Amino acid sequence: MARCYNFCAGPATLSLSVLETARDEMVDYQGCGMSIMESSHRGKQYAAVHAEAESNIRELMGVSDDYAVLFLQGGASTQFAYIPINLLGEGQTADYTNSGAWAAKAIKEAKLIGDVNIAADCGSDIPTRVPSQDELQLTDGAAYLHITSNETISGAQWKTYPTVDAPLVADMSSDILSRPIDVSQFGLIYAGLQKNLGPSGAALVIIRKDLAERVPSGTPTMFKYATHIDKGSMFNTPPCFSIYILNLVTRWIKEQGLENVYQQNVDKAAALYAAIDGGDFYRGTAVPECRSDMNVTWRLPSEALEAEFVKQADAQGFKGLKGHRSVGGIRASIYNAFPAEGVDALVTFMKDFQSRNG
């Protein structure tokens, strides 16, 4: 069996042990004579998976009973609209920070629903960064402040979250469960599953329950958080298979402990940034204090060398290193499941490439 080193930004690498468990359970799930994909979402097999996934998330993230943990369809992008539909009332303003491509998409959707104030704008800064607390220009009585915890494309990450009066809403699609956080700082956290949590197509939403009561009457049933809180994410057929894999991923994180996973993430990122900073050949694209532990982005002296780097790396089994088409350069996505030995191997390749081309 030849597994490559998969640096893809999302869908992204999953732990081999998760894949092997899913393989072993695929055809006959725990002796019930069918796969979990084929069994009723109201049956006892799936009900146990669904309940364990929620309880593992609660345990790993320290989520109190004041919050609901939801599994919703439509990925993170659907949440861009869902949030203002539910939380941004008539006559209110929502504050948004613009830190790059994903924040901009969230802002675009919110503007379709209501009034938006850009509390800080560093979306087109190069080197890229996220705003600091001091530069936030907040609205009095804002409905909420939306931030993008980690800009997956540019590789800039909030290291400490802002403290504000309004409920803090965070898109954590690309760094959820990569480090311990204090959920009580947030009104709402959401993340598409396909970076750190499992397969694509669903989103994890953690919402303070009182916020779900803001939804305007007349909002269609499926588009209200309140519906899904009330029905435990079972109002309609949930994305069962994605939640099943999510459950395996949460078990895998629990086995290691979130603190250990976090320490490994810090070490992996530090090794890559050290290779980038070890000379003038490579150039990191995020300001050092905002450098992401999940998506490491850098440039080479020319686009021709970048193309050559990606080509040679690919031939050696390092897949998915080409930067996002909108920004170019190189991007190594090293989520929780990306192995440390893959980072070490890439660092060796980088040094060799530098000595041959620098």
Among candidate residues 95, 125, 158, 171, the one labeled active-site is 171
Among candidate residues 158, 195, 252, 268, the one labeled active-site is 195
Complex with ligand PLP: residue 93 or 149, whichever CB lies closer: 149
Complex with ligand PLP: residue 156 or 330, whichever CB lies closer: 156
Instruction: Give min distance, CB of 195 to ligand PLP, in A.
Output: 6
280 an active-site residue? no
Complex with ligand PLP: residue 73 or 312, whichever CB lies closer: 73
Instruction: Give min distance, CB of 75 to ligand PLP, in A.
Output: 2
Instruction: Give min distance, CB of 8 to ligand PLP, in A.
Output: 11
| Residues of this chain that bind ligand PLP (CB under 6 A) | 10, 75-77, 102, 148, 152, 171, 173-174, 192, 195, 200
195 an active-site residue? yes
102 an active-site residue? yes
Give the strand order in the sheet containing 330-333: 283-284, 295-299, 330-333
Could you give the C-alpha distances from 11 to 72, 139, 148, in angstroms and in order?
17, 36, 19
Which residue's C-beta sits nearest to ligand PLP?
Answer: 75
Q: Return the bridge partners of 299, or none.
A: 283
Complex with ligand PLP: residue 192 or 198, whichever CB lies closer: 192
Among candidate residues 95, 102, 175, 252, the one labeled active-site is 102
Complex with ligand PLP: residue 12 or 300, whichever CB lies closer: 12
Instruction: Give min distance, CB of 101 to ligand PLP, in A.
Output: 8
Instruction: Give min distance, CB of 265 to ligand PLP, in A.
Output: 16
Residues assigned a catalytic role: 102, 171, 195
